[in-house]
Structure 1
Amino acid sequence: MAIVKQGSARYDGLGKEGKGHVSTGSGALSDQPYGFQTRFEDAPGTNPEELIAAAHASCFTMALSFRLADAGHTDGSLTTEAEVTLEKDDGGFTVTRSALSTKGKVPGMDKAKFEELAADAKANCPISKLLNCDITLETSFEG
């Protein structure tokens, strides 16, 4: 079974002077602005790396949630932040790293098992598999 999701982007004008808009098929994002200024100069709007960070954080967190449920836990909360690093290289730019930092509160669970399940979720969430970069994971846990 294949699941297909959609996104779209429009860019009016070229290069630094161009202005873009990005949307998701679900409508969660609709014509959100992006361009050189939002990517490299902190102007209001979004950028591809921010969207990748949100996708990675949400995918990892959901994967960890399912691993915790499969381990018999029925209550808890997870919060994850992702920082995606874009670096200049000879060919332009490359995403070189996604750093995940997750906090978990799962009653009745020990820290070692939480870290084991988090490492598995990091390695096996679909977005981790997609990214061709260094992926790090920092955990904080409260049982």
Structure 2
Amino acid sequence: MITRIGSATYEGFGKEGKGHVSTQSGVLSDNPYGFNTRFEDTPGTNPEELIAAAHASCFTMALSFALAGAGYTEGSLSTKAAVKLDKEGDGFKISRSDLTLTASVPGIDAAEFAEIAAGAKANCPVSKLLNAEITLEHTLSN
């Protein structure tokens, strides 16, 4: 089993509170987050963009390994994840993650690519974690 750690602190409460988020690797180190970084344009991060980055990177790596497993050895993949935060009752919920993929895989046909990409979407660990609708759009150029 592999364990990775992310941590967050928050001082104060509600809109006036301010927090910091860090990762075990140090990629994030006391990065600011709070109401203003989540719902306004203040510099800093928010949970939704962190989930989007995690989903995009996990899916892209899963697809890379699936393509390698199918015998493809070269190409490029670029994925954007757009995580949606919707109002629900008195709070909010993450309702979906929309993956948009642009790929170049020499020698693959569109049907095989779509099948491999759909499998990667369904089986990447972050997709399995998310209890939200997950969509995938892709563009393949050879």
Cα separation, 1, equivalents of 2:41 and 2:117: 32
5 Å matches for 1:17-28? 17-28=16-27
5 Å matches for 1:1-143? 2-143=1-142
SS at match of 1:101: strand
SS at match of 1:74: coil
Deviation of 1:91 after TM superposition, in Å, equals 4.8
Deviation of 1:108 after TM superposition, in Å, equals 1.1
Counterpart amino acid of 2:138? Answer: T
Structure 1 residue runs of 4 or more that deviate by more than 3 Å after TM superposition: none
Gaps of 5+ in 2: none
Q: Alpha-carbon deviations, 1:62-83, whole Å to 9, x = none? A: 0000000000011110000000
Paired residues, what number?
142
SS at match of 1:65: helix
Counterpart amino acid of 2:65? Answer: F
Deviation of 1:90 after TM superposition, in Å, equals 1.7
**TM-score, normalization by structure 2:** 0.98
**TM-score, normalization by structure 1:** 0.97
Give RMSD over aligned pairs.
0.8
Deviation of 1:43 after TM superposition, in Å, equals 1.1
Determine if contact 1:53/1:98 at 8 Å carries over to the other structure: yes
